[in-house]
Amino acid sequence: MDGIGAGSAAVVPPEGDPGDLRHDPDRFLNRELSWLDFNERVLALADGDIPVLERAKFCAIFSQNLDEFFQVRVAGLMDQAAAGLVARSPDGRTAEEQLDAVTARVRLLNDQLERVFLERLVPDLADVGIVFSSWDDLDDDDRKYLVGEFESRIFPILTPLAVDPGHPFPYISNLSLNLAVLVQDPETGQRRFARVKVPPVLPRFVVMPDGERFVPLEQVIAAHLDLLFPGMVIEDHYAFRVTRNADLTLEEDEADDLLAAVEMELRRRRFGRAVRLEVDAHVSAEVRELLVRELDLDEDAIFPYVGPLDLSGLWSLHELDRPDLKDDPWVPVTQPRLAPADGEPPDLFAALRDGDLLVHHPYDSFSSSVEEFIREAAGDPKVLAIKLTLYRTSGDSPIVGSLIRAAERGKQVAALVELKARFDEANNIEWARALEEAGVHVTYGLVGLKTHTKTALVVRDEGDCFRRYCHIGTGNYNPKTAKLYEDLGLLSADSALGSDLTQLFNFLTGYGRDVEYDKILVAPRSMRAALADLIRGEMRAPAGTGRITMKMNSLVDPELIDLLYDASQAGVAVDLVVRGICCLRPGVPGLSECIGVRSLVGRYLEHSRIYHFANGGGPGEPAYYIGSADLMPRNLDRRIEALAPVDAPELQERLAEILDTNLRDDTLAWELEPDGTWRHVARGGTCDVHRRLQELALARSAHPA
Helix (H) / strand (E) element for 672: namely strand 669-672
The one-letter code for the residue type at 21 is L
Q: Find out whether 673 and 562 touch, Cβ atoms under 8 Å.
A: no
Distance spanning both ends of the chain, measured CA to CA: 36
Which of helix, strand or coil describes residue 65? Answer: helix
Q: Find out whether 52 and 593 touch, Cβ atoms under 8 Å.
A: no
How many residues does the structure list for the chain?
Answer: 705
453 closest CA partner among 381, 530, 524, 350: 524
**Tally: H helices and E strands in the chain:** 21, 28
How much helix, strand and coil, in percent to the nearest 5, is found in the chain? Answer: 40, 25, 35
DSSP string, 344-387: BPP-HHHHHHT--EEEEETTB-SIIIIIHHHHHHHH-TTEEEEE
Which of helix, strand or coil describes residue 107? Answer: helix
Neighbour tally for 157: CB within 10 Å:
10
Which of helix, strand or coil describes residue 462? Answer: coil
DSSP string, 285-335: HHHHHHHHHHHT--GGGEEEESS-S-GGGGHHHHTSS-GGGSPPP---B--
Q: Find out whether 152 and 224 touch, Cβ atoms under 8 Å.
A: no
List CB contacts of 386: < 8 A, sequence separation 6 or more. 374, 377, 378, 403, 406, 411, 412, 413, 414, 456, 457, 458, 459
Query: How far is the C-alpha of 19 from the C-alpha of 439, rounded, in Å?
Result: 60
In the beta sheet, which residues pair with residue 443?
A: 416
Query: How far is the C-alpha of 198 from the C-alpha of 653, rounded, in Å?
Result: 54
Q: What is the DSSP letter of 153?
A: I
In the beta sheet, which residues pair with residue 385?
A: 412, 459
Neighbour tally for 86: CB within 10 Å:
8
Q: Find out whether 562 and 528 touch, Cβ atoms under 8 Å.
A: no
Which of 360, 361, 452, 690 is flagged as catalytic? 452
Q: Find out whether 631 and 557 touch, Cβ atoms under 8 Å.
A: yes
Parallel/antiparallel/unpaired status of strands 547-552 and 623-627: unpaired
User: Using N-to-C axis directions, what is the helix angle for 558-569 and 527-540, rounded to 10°?
Assistant: 10
680 in catalytic set: no
In the beta sheet, which residues pair with residue 302?
A: 277
The set of catalytic residues is 452
